[in-house]
Amino acid sequence: MSFEVRNKDLLGRIGRLRTKSGTVETPLLLPVVNPNSQTIPPQQIKDIFHFDALITNSYLIWRKHHNEPTVPKIHELLKFNGVIETDSGAYQILQYGDVEVQPSEIIKFQEKIDSDVAVILDVPTGDETTKERAKWTVEETIRRADKSLQVISRSDMLWVGPVQGGVHLDLVAYSAREMAKRNFSIYALGSPTLIMQQYRFDVLVDMIIAAKRELPPGKPLHLFGAGHPMMFAFAVALGCDIFDSASYALFARNGRYMTPQGTAKLEELEYFPCNCPACHGKSPEQVRKLLRTERDHLLASHNLHACYEELQTVKQAIIDGRLWELVESRSRNHPALQRAFQRMLSYTDFLESGTPVRKSKGPFILSEQSLNRPEVIRYQKRLIERYTPPTRVKKLLLLPEALEKPFRENQTENDLILKLEKRKDLHLCAYGLEFGIVPHELVDVYPLSQTENAITPNQATISHARKCMVNYLRKFQYSECIMFGNESWEKNTAQLLKRTFKRKMKITYVQTTNLDIKIVQQALKSAK
């Protein structure tokens, strides 16, 4: 195995990818280096900016050197002692329609120049392609994959199998299924560049999920052409492990300054919102006065620092189990990211499949959107599928969730819970906005008591709570339910439950602001 997963959260993971030139950690950004012209020398990309791997274009090298008696080794040519991935010329096919090299020829050439990771010559779909044309690119890429696997002779190199289909999700899924049958070390999703340039991140979410569902979970996924810090958290959360982009240099040449919040224009900045080595002690006005080459180098340096810093932030979020919080926070940076987050919420069941059952820190419920996070979805699913209430107990006592949190400091609340626990004829449960109904015996189970929430009653949160409560009561049919509360949403919820279960369960609502054992005992007595 060339890929080992160390930590996971959502579909994101921190992994180790072993190559013949060394082991690199994912999530990994491969800065694109033009073999003929570099804004920043390749070795500086490693020594100064801490990127242990990069990607270059083997087709451009082939055009320059393939007729020479001795072809230079890629590490010597770039003067880089890290891991090098080589693309095969597919980008030129996307830009110009074709290349003059054959798929088998570029395979042998990449082996000859001693690449660590190499890509077969696929046919990119692009984003403005008819369904018929898109289908042809998928079939042709699969055909080329089969021929390439027959030609490949070096087992010490990692080979990348591209997935095509563009915005046609059924073709993306078909392409991924077929490529998964071929034994590539890495898989890659092609044709997202224009979609990202147009900020259609919601479409990108669909494309990634369509591919990810069909690909082997034990192999890394490379998202071609992705290299902006504003979208790293999203792409990693959806299961992407490797990125590549020349945008750090291309943006610099156009006077554009990368941040996790988006792209700023140098001409419009009065202050640098960054203290990286490139920005420290400088003002935008000073940078605008630099010579063009100096300005481009400084902006490219900042852009690399910004990319590296955001990837480090994403990795720490995975370690902490807070990747959801990071994605939700980043979604507020731009309307396009908010649309992407909304689209991401439709895949919560798939996201839940990759999320650890237990984490070192409790989740934050920051908004009604947080109610779709895997921890909440998993609890609801497992409560209905796996939980069994105490046998022969048909009377349910529902208390507001505040009384059921652990580490209670209010002695009155503690005394109340302890006395109610002794009642063998009652099943004690809490209810609240984030988890619906929580049986008392589960209250200390992760993530129920470890969750911090900032949500308030509104249409979305109340609707969520009511749906959870109805599902629970429909599954576990008590003969009687006594619900305590004070807020208007709690009273209205009790009325909804009465209408829903009027012939199956007696629902009693007790409104009180100061819940104690005497009030509970009186309610139980009145219910009789």
Is the distance from CB of 131 to CB of 149 less than 8 angstroms?
no
Cα 49 to the chain's mean position, in Å?
A: 24
Check if the beta carbon of residue 359 is closer than 8 Å to that of residue 321.
yes
CA nearest 121: which of 148, 88, 92?
A: 88
- Tokens (6 digits) for 424: 């063998």
Residue with tokens 């013949």: 20
The tokens of 139 are what? 């079939």
Identify the sign of the CA torsion 364, 367, 369, 372: positive
Alpha-carbon distance of 62 to 110, in angstroms, equals: 9
Structure tokens at 164: 């095509």
DSSP state string for 331-390: GGG-HHHHHHHHHHGGGHHHHHHHS-S--SSPPEE-SGGGGGSHHHHHHHHHHHHH--PP
CA dist., res. 127 & res. 133, Å (int): 11
Cα–Cα distance, 390 to 181 (Å, whole number): 48
- Positions of E strands within 98-232: 117-119, 158-163, 186-189, 221-223
Which residues belong to the active site?
87
179 closest CA partner among 154, 218, 211, 225: 211
Q: Angle 459-475/374-386 helices, nearest 10 degrees?
A: 20
Counting runs of H as helices and runs of E as strands, what totals does the chain give?
Answer: 21, 20
Question: Contact at 8 Å (CB) between 27 and 74?
Answer: no
CA 170 – CA 172 distance, rounded (Å): 5
